[in-house]
Amino acid sequence: MTEENNYAPLKGIKVVDWTQVQSGPSCTQLLAWLGADVIKIERTNTGDPTRNELLDIQDSWSLYYLQLNANKKSLTLNIKTDEGKKIMYDLIKKADVFVENIAPGSAERNGFGWKKLHAMNPKLIYASLKGFNEGSRFEDVKAFEPVAQSAGGGASATGWNEGKANVPTQSTALGDSNSGMHLTIGILAALLQREHTGEGAFVYQSMQDAVLNLCRIKLSVGLTRLKVGKLILTLMFTSLFKTATRAGQQLPTPWVTQNGLLILALMAGKIANYTRKKFIH
Q: Is 48 a catalytic residue?
A: no
**Phi and psi (nearest 5°) for 75?**
-140, 125
**What angle (nearest 5°) sits at the alpha carbon of residue 216, between those of residues 215 and 219?**
85
Instruction: Please report the sign of the dihedral spanned by the C-alpha atoms of residue 198, residue 28, residue 30, residue 32.
Output: positive
What's the burial of 3, exposed, middle or buried (CB within 10 Å: 0-12/13-18/19+)? exposed
For β-strands 125-130 and 201-206, DSSP reports them as parallel
- Contact (Cβ atoms closer than 8 angstroms) between residue 182 and residue 251: no
Identified catalytic residue from 48, 96, 176, 209 = 176
- Contact (Cβ atoms closer than 8 angstroms) between residue 184 and residue 205: no
> How many DSSP H helices and E strands does the chain contain?
10, 9
d(CA 50, CA 120): 31
Write the DSSP symbol of residue 162. B
- Contact (Cβ atoms closer than 8 angstroms) between residue 114 and residue 202: yes
d(CA 56, CA 34): 29
Cα 154 to Cα 45, 206, 216, 270, distances in angstroms: 35, 14, 10, 27
- CB atoms closer than 10 angstroms to residue 257: 11
Report, as residue numbers or ranges, the catalytic residues.
Answer: 176
